[in-house]
Amino acid sequence: MAVVFDDEAHSVGEQREIIIGHSRQNRLLLIAFTERSGNVRIISARLATRQEREDYEQNAL
């Protein structure tokens, strides 16, 4: 399961969103992205931090 939410702290000039969820290799990833002209543009992709993992696990259940 993945969770998508607005990235209000970094949405200056364009709306940015964050998705957090598991990859096919079962790694918990956090990806920041925006949409431009109908295309998805990835801004950042990384492993979730310990705190992000804990928040995800508490809210995903």
Give the model confidence (pLDDT) of 22-32 as tens digits.
999 999 999 99
Distance CA 20, CA 13 (A): 23
Q: Where are the domains of the chain?
A: 3-60
pLDDT score, position 35 = 92
Q: Measured between alpha carbons, how far is 30 from 44 in angstroms, rounded to an integer?
A: 8
Structure tokens at 42: 């990835």
Contacts of 21 (CB under 8 A, 6+ apart): 1, 2, 3, 28, 29
Q: How does pLDDT run across 44-55, given as a tens digit for each residue? A: 999 999 999 999
